[in-house]
A and B are shown apart, each in its own frame.
Chain A
Amino acid sequence: QKEVEQNSGPLSVPEGAIASLNCTYSDRGSQSFFWYRQYSGKSPELIMFIYSNGDKEDGRFTAQLNKASQYVSLLIRDSQPSDSATYLCAVNEDQFYFGTGTSLTVIP
Chain B
Amino acid sequence: DTEVTQTPKHLVMGMTNKKSLKCEQHMGHRAMYWYKQKAKKPPELMFVYSYEKLSINESVPSRFSPECPNSSLLNLHLHALQPEDSALYLCASSHFAARATSGANVLTFGAGSRLTVL
Q: Which one of B12-20, B63-71, B72-80, B102-110 is at the interface?
A: B102-110
Are B107 and A92 in touch, CB under 8 angstroms?
A: yes
Are A92 and B99 in touch, CB under 8 angstroms?
A: yes
Q: How far is the CB of B51 from chain A (nearest CB, A)?
A: 15
5 additional A-B pairs beyond A94-B97, A98-B43, beta carbons within 8 Å, are A32-B99, A42-B112, A44-B109, A50-B104, A96-B107
Are B103 and A51 in touch, CB under 8 angstroms?
A: yes
Are A49 and B111 in touch, CB under 8 angstroms?
A: no
B60 interfacial contact with A, CB 8 Å? no
30 sampled A-B residue pairs with Cβ under 8 A: A31-B99, A32-B100, A32-B105, A34-B104, A34-B106, A36-B109, A42-B111, A42-B112, A43-B110, A44-B43, A44-B109, A46-B106, A46-B108, A51-B104, A86-B40, A90-B107, A92-B98, A92-B100, A93-B98, A94-B99, A95-B45, A95-B56, A95-B98, A96-B107, A98-B42, A98-B43, A99-B42, A100-B41, A100-B42, A101-B42
A residues at B contact (CB < 8 Å): 31-32, 34, 36, 41-46, 49-51, 86, 88, 90, 92-96, 98-101
Q: CA of A99 to CA of B43 in the docked complex: distance in angstroms?
A: 9
Q: CA of A43 to CA of B91 in the docked complex: distance in angstroms?
A: 10
A-B contact count (CB 8 A): 62
B residues in contact with A99, CB < 8 Å: 42
Ranked 7 nearest A-B pairs via Cβ: A98-B42, A49-B104, A43-B112, A43-B109, A92-B99, A32-B104, A94-B98
Q: CA of A95 to CA of B97 in the docked complex: distance in angstroms?
A: 6
Q: CA of A34 to CA of B100 in the docked complex: distance in angstroms?
A: 14
A residues in contact with B111, CB < 8 Å: 42-43
B48 interfacial contact with A, CB 8 Å? yes
A residues in contact with B88, CB < 8 Å: 41, 43
A residues in contact with B33, CB < 8 Å: 96
